[in-house]
């Protein structure tokens, strides 16, 4: 019913939610010895999701990788709070943008339904 | 995939930092304690964190998704400082040894205060994470309006 843009937006939001999960667990483990920062390769995951549209949900679980190029502290932990706070707000902002766009798409369909009813 | 499970991850982070702050405050309060139930002066305590999967009632159903990401944190162990106590010459003190020296806890207030600030900042980071996730949940709910 909705156009392909809405489907892509939905997948984009799914990926953002998955990334936000990793950011939250990185922040929670900021003091855990030996913990390595985890992330997803966003570009790659989105491309593979967008190309394989309509595949089963299981495939939508993204691959978790260890974030590269981070300096480890003495206890083997390499969580950078600065990086995680930046990602936290960036992901939330992107999610807000995507949800506003998706809302526009839904409103489009809704107004079409309403016009049909009154006319 | 549920955004709600993120709240328990950040919640576990808040809980772990709170336990740590509690131990640090205990250390500061007992900086001059020479008697403990175990005998001897008080020994500095600290928490050791380890990452733990967050279980929820639905965990069995969503096991695959849990493996894909959310790891909370928990206090694995509470360790006591094994360094020798500080000896101070106080012959009149009731806990003084035969040589007139009293064993006091080896507690450095600067060390504890720095750790306490660290715990506070990390607690705040977890609170901000909860705020961001809450905002995302609200946005999703707004799609239905």
Q: Higher pLDDT residue, A118 or B90?
A: B90
Residue B40's pLDDT is: 85
**Residue B73 with chain A: CB contacts under 8 Å:** 25, 28-29, 31-32
- What is the distance between the alpha carbons of residues B103 and B95, in angstroms, rounded to a whole number? 8
Which of B9, B118, B136 is the closest to A95 by Cβ?
Answer: B136
- What is the distance between the alpha carbons of residues B135 and A20, in angstroms, rounded to a whole number? 12
> pLDDT tens digits for chain B (145 residues)?
477 888 888 989 999 999 999 999 999 999 988 888 888 899 999 999 988 877 655 554 555 454 555 678 888 889 998 888 999 999 988 988 899 999 999 999 999 999 999 999 999 999 999 999 999 999 888 887 7
**Does residue B46 sit in helix, strand or coil?**
strand
**Residue A33 with chain B: CB contacts under 8 Å:** 48-50
- What is the distance between the alpha carbons of residues A32 and A72, in angstroms, rounded to a whole number? 12
The ipTM value here is 0.71
Which of A28, A91, A99 is the closest to B13 by Cβ?
Answer: A28
Give the angle subtended at the CA of B61 by the CAs of B56 and B67, to the nearest 5°: 75
pTM exceeds 0.80: no
Residue A96's pLDDT is: 93
């Amino acid at each position: 019913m909705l156009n392909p843009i809405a489907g892509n937006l939905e997948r984009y939001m799914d990926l953002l939610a998955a990334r936000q999960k990793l950011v939250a667990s990185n922040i929670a483990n900021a003091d855990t010895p030996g913990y390595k920062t985890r992330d997803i390769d966003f570009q790659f995951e989105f491309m593979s999701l967008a190309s394989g549209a309509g595949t089963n949900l299981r495939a939508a679980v993204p691959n978790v990788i260890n974030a590269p190029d981070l300096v480890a502290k003495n206890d083997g932990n390499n969580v950078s709070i600065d990086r995680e706070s930046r990602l936290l707000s960036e992901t939330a902002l992107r999610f807000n943008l995507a949800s506003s766009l998706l809302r526009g798409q839904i409103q489009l369909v809704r107004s079409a339904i309403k016009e049909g009813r009154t006319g | 995939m549920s955004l709600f499970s993120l709240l328990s991850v950040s919640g576990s982070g808040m809980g772990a930092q709170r336990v740590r702050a509690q131990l640090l405050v205990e250390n500061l309060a007992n900086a001059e304690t020479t008697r403990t139930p175990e005998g001897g002066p008080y020994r500095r305590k600290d928490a050791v964190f380890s990452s733990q999967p967050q279980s929820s009632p639905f965990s069995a159903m969503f096991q695959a998704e849990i493996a894909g990401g959310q790891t909370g944190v928990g206090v694995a162990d509470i360790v006591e400082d094994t360094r020798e106590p500080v000896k101070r010459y106080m012959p009149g003190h009731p806990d003084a040894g035969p040589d007139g020296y009293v064993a006091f806890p080896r507690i450095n207030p600067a060390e504890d205060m720095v750790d306490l600030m660290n715990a506070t900042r990390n607690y705040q980071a977890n609170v901000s994470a909860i705020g961001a996730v809450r905002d995302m949940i609200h946005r999703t709910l707004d799609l239905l309006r």
